[in-house]
Structure 1
Amino acid sequence: MDSLKIAVIGGTGGLGRAIAKNLASKGASVTVYGRTFRDTDVKNIKFVRVDLSLMSNIKKLITEHSFEIFEYDLVVFTAGIFAASKREETSEGLERDLATSTLNRYLLLEKSLPELESQPSLQEGRKVQKPRIFIMAYPGAGQLGTPDDLNQEQGYSAYRCHMNTVAGNEAIVTHYSGNKNFSIYGLNPGLVKTNIRDNYLGENSWTSRVLEFFIGWIYKSPEQYAEIITPLLTDPTLDAASGTFYNDKAKKIPASKGLTKKYADNYIRKSRELLESKGLW
């Protein structure tokens, strides 16, 4: 794993942090993108501070911070929250869960494509043949979302809102599965003890503490999941399986019924239309 260059988008807490530290401990050079860095003393990890809920920051990553997907062997998207009980909106007019957990991933990939297409020579001498993208969410859960109301402006439900992010992330993988410039995969970690539910339950609330206690008692810790999934992320034979999804045991799982390529393409089109309507494209 020495000399692998890896970006973890949202790697400052929970699963992203555990994966970043695991990869760094095995010799990979890891750059973490997020808001709060807790691992300044960890070897092989660099940090770029960015609020991933704002699309203007995503575009700045490419223009001002020279973020280029083709510079990395692996890019792992892990940033995510759970929708709040009452609708929250970013300063850019986007529902916060959708912006943080899905739209930033789509925008960063789409805006990076022109750069990828202009740099074919960078494929030579790579540890993997082309950049490898991993999208973490809950693919295969049977969620199709509400593409005609992605921003939840017609009526709000925290569950329905969050399922838009679940469906949206699966749609991203399916939409880009045939892309010639990178390979892309979906990760479903299942239930893991993290702080992702704090936005809904309330940070440090008794409800959150009790729920996370039982999740931690029954299911995997972030570190246990990272140890299982790291061999998959770095498997040199994985490129042939672009567009597939993997569970918490790093085993292939089927896509959600109904989330076809046609459906995914429409979901992505609706996502772009939403960003354009807010002047964020």
Structure 2
Amino acid sequence: MEKKIILITGATDGIGKITATTLAKQGHTMIIHGRNRSKAATVCEQIKADTGNKNVNYVLADLLSMADIKRMVADLKTKYDRLDILINNAGAFFNKQREITRDGFEKTIALNLFAPFLLMQSLVDLLSKSTSARIINMYSAMHKRGGKPDFNDFQLEKSYKPDRAYGLSKLYLVWMTRHLASELKRNGINNITVNGTHPGAVATNFGQDSDKGFFINMIFKIALNFMDKPEAGAVSSIYLATSQEVEGISGQFYSNKAEVEKPDDKYWSVENEQRVWNYLQKTLKAYL
């Protein structure tokens, strides 16, 4: 496969780090995103040592800050003349008490939905310079567990629960992935594809540090004993980044076994998908 320039968010730990290491072994130029400079630099050196690939660099941003994402994008554009693959891997399951970012956004929606949306929209020009660019969004089987969306309470001021916030953020990400695929096609941009995948239940630190309430905390702790190894969670994202089988395919969703699957469309409609898209465009207009 032609060597690619690949950006992975949340790549200093867990599935993101495993994905980055595997792709670096294949000889691709890797851009590791992290929040902490020291940790990101250490991970880059580890990957270089483990793979022999010296083309491993990092970028820094707090993805809870839309302004910081904008700054990171500007930094990327000064360093790279194209981007071939964007893997929106970063995500989180937050606390039982609703929290907001410095921008005033609910944290789960901000990180799991707003951040990948802003990155995709802001990096389209770099991606369009690739002969064949791919966007890979990490959703979750939890998109089935958020309950019925309330578009009058998008920021969950009235109905916040950590599992609802996480589930809805991933449901909206499914809809956004599908919509972006259609938007690109409508605009005649045929060299960028966008697909989604989920890692399945794997034993990482995901969600272990947040206080989700006693019952959910206990489930997260016990479940670790029954989960697959973290390497299993990276299979589908690596497949979507490198396989010739998905060349030109867009708007699809893949299981943790790298097989096409249909997401839960119980609450989906063309109108609801458009509502989410319009909300994102309006809410993040200042950062686009």
The TM-score range, normalised by the shorter chain, is 0.7 to 0.9
Q: Deviations over 1:47-74 (max 9, x none)?
A: 1121111100111122244279982221
Q: Which residue does the alignment assign to 1:146?
A: 150
1:264 correspondence with 2:273: yes
Q: Which residue does the alignment assign to 1:219?
A: 227
Please, which runs of 5 or more residues in structure 1 have no aligned partner?
A: none
How far residue 10 of structure 1 moved from its aligned partner, in angstroms, is 1.6
Q: Which residue does the alignment assign to 1:234?
A: 242
Q: Which residue does the alignment assign to 1:158?
A: 162
Contact 2:136 2:240 (8 Å CA) reproduced? no
Q: Which residue does the alignment assign to 2:33?
A: 33
- 1:222–1:164 CA distance, 2 compared to 1 (3 A): same
| 3-state SS of paired residue (1:177) | helix
CA distance in 1, matches of 2:227, 2:32: 26
| 3-state SS of paired residue (2:112) | helix
CA distance in 1, matches of 2:198, 2:226: 17
1:184 correspondence with 2:194: yes
CA distance in 2, matches of 1:262, 1:17: 37
Q: Which amino acid aligns with 2:283?
A: L
CA distance in 2, matches of 1:59, 1:140: 28
Q: Which residue does the alignment assign to 1:93?
A: 104
Runs of 4+ in 1 over 4 A off after TM superposition: 67-70, 210-214
- 1:116–1:25 CA distance, 2 compared to 1 (3 A): closer
- 1:67–1:14 CA distance, 2 compared to 1 (3 A): farther
Aligned residues: 267
Q: Which residue does the alignment assign to 1:173?
A: 177
Q: Deviations over 1:154-177 (max 9, x none)?
A: 342222211221112112211111
Q: Which amino acid aligns with 2:263?
A: A
Q: Which amino acid aligns with 1:225?
A: G
Q: Which residue does the alignment assign to 1:245?
A: 253
| 3-state SS of paired residue (1:27) | coil
Q: Which residue does the alignment assign to 2:204?
A: 194
How far residue 211 of structure 1 moved from its aligned partner, in angstroms, is 5.0
Contact 1:141 1:256 (8 Å CA) reproduced? yes
Q: Deviations over 1:233-261 (max 9, x none)?
A: 21123133210001111111103224244
CA distance in 2, matches of 1:29, 1:261: 38
TM-score of the aligned structures, taking structure 1 as reference length: 0.83
- 1:100–1:69 CA distance, 2 compared to 1 (3 A): farther
Structure with bigger helix share is 2
Q: Deviations over 1:169-192 (max 9, x none)?
A: 112211111212510001111211
1:71 correspondence with 2:71: no
How far residue 30 of structure 1 moved from its aligned partner, in angstroms, is 1.0
1:111 correspondence with 2:122: yes
Could you tell me the percent identity over the aligned residues?
Answer: 23
TM-score of the aligned structures, taking structure 2 as reference length: 0.81
- 1:103–1:67 CA distance, 2 compared to 1 (3 A): farther
CA distance in 2, matches of 1:151, 1:133: 26
- 1:98–1:51 CA distance, 2 compared to 1 (3 A): same
- 1:218–1:49 CA distance, 2 compared to 1 (3 A): same
Q: Which residue does the alignment assign to 2:135?
A: 133
1:51 correspondence with 2:67: no
Quote the RMSD (CA, aligned, Å). Answer: 2.9
